[in-house]
């Protein structure tokens, strides 16, 4: 469900939330009923500061994107070297984060992240997406998502460790794996591609085909989540092969207002193999943001 707006009021309320609106309070209660064991899993990859460390070689990310940087303004090392404690002996460590989440870590795309022409989802003018934030379709509109999660473990279904780079998941295969996707669900698509890091990760990426995107859109899902970087597949140049008509971001995000959650870590979830579960996403309330780094949770 989309949380209700609070009274911060910089940006006017408007009808911009897309299919998350399908998540009525009743749907939230139905989603919560999918928790059977109470086990909670994080579906997030780690955010690993890249500055003077081998981090870039240890965490999956798209080539050429600026990796997260993580710093401390004061830390235990400083005290070991003689830094004075606060007052009578209090010691603290404070950190700072620089993150450009698209393509570098687990994140959620806002409805203002991608479009064609001069209109965002639902006709909002794209000129409202400015350097200082988007006044339409920003990530702060999401609030929080509590929905039924449905796992599509595609390589598991096919008896593979992971899908090959050029594999495109067709609608028929989704239907075969789980025909029971319902309005307001969050399908979680496992490709297994993060397991190829760092060996062949940059050779391309498997992902949904346009038919699969349309199949999901037709079922009015609330969001689509995957462990790949772009929901659709990528070629070796890290670009989609589809034209505009068939682009997965345009089909889902732009035309249907379906939020996307990308670069998940799904291995523990796949090993547990629940029929369904509670999917929770609480993106940072970045006003006018095109997305947010995210720690999605699965409650089994």
- Distance of closest approach, residue 89 Cβ to its own copies, in angstroms: 5
Residue 123 within binding range of its own copies, rule CB under 8 A:
no
Under the binding rule (CB under 8 A), the answer on residue 232 touching its own copies is no
Question: Segment contacting its own copies (CB under 8 A): 46-54, 166-174, 199-207, 214-222?
Answer: 46-54
Long-range CB pairs of 31-37 (<8 Å, 24+ gap) are 31/146, 31/147, 31/148, 31/184, 31/278, 31/279, 32/146, 32/278, 34/148, 34/149, 34/276, 34/277, 34/278, 34/299, 35/277, 35/278, 35/299, 35/300, 36/274, 36/300, 37/300
Cα–Cα dist 294/300, whole Å: 19
Instruction: Work out how close the CB of 175 gets to its own copies at its nearest, in angstroms, rounded to a whole number.
Output: 28
Smallest distance, its own copies to C-beta of residue 113, A: 6
Choice from 158, 236, 244, 275 touching its own copies (CB under 8 A): 244
Q: Residues 284, 291: contact at Cβ < 8 Å?
A: no
What mask of x and - would describe binding to its own copies in positions 144 to 183, judged by CB under 8 A? Answer: x-x-------------------------------------
Sites for its own copies among residues 50-69 (CB under 8 A): 50-54, 56-58, 64-69
Structure tokens at 60: 């999956």
Burial-class residue 199 by CB neighbours within 10 Å (0-12, 13-18, 19+): exposed
Q: Is 77 in the site for its own copies (CB under 8 A)?
A: yes
Among residues 13, 14, 15, 97, the one that binds its own copies under rule CB under 8 A:
97
Contacts to its own copies from residues 13-32, by CB under 8 A: 24-29, 32
């Amino acid at each position: 469900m989309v949380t209700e707006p609070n009274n911060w009021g910089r940006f006017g309320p408007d009808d911009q939330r897309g299919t998350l609106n399908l998540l009525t309070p009743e749907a939230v209660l139905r989603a919560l009923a999918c928790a059977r064991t109470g086990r909670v899993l994080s579906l997030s990859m780690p955010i690993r500061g890249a500055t003077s460390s081998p981090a870039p070689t240890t965490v999956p990310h798209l080539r050429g994107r600026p990796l997260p940087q993580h710093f401390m303004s004061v830390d235990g090392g400083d005290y070991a070297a003689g830094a004075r404690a606060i007052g009578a002996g209090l010691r603290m460590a404070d950190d700072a984060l620089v993150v450009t989440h698209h393509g570098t870590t687990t994140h959620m795309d806002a409805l203002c992240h991608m479009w064609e022409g001069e209109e965002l989802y639902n006709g909002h003018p794209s000129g409202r997406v400015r350097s200082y934030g988007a006044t339409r379709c920003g990530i702060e509109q999401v609030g929080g998502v509590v929905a039924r999660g449905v796992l599509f473990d595609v390589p598991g279904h096919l008896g593979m460790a992971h899908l090959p780079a050029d594999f495109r998941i067709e609608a028929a295969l989704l239907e075969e794996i789980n025909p029971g996707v319902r309005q307001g669900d969050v399908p979680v698509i496992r490709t297994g591609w993060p397991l190829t890091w760092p060996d062949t990760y940059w050779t391309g990426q498997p992902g949904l085909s346009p038919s699969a995107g349309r199949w999901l859109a037709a079922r009015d899902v609330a969001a689509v989540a995957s462990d790949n970087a772009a929901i659709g597949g990528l070629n070796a140049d890290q670009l989609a092969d589809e034209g505009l008509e068939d682009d997965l971001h345009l089909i889902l995000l732009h035309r249907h207002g379906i939020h996307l959650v990308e670069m998940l870590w799904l291995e523990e979830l796949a090993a547990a193999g629940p029929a369904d579960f509670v999917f929770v996403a609480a993106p940072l309330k970045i006003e006018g943001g095109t997305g947010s780094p995210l720690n999605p949770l699965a409650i089994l």
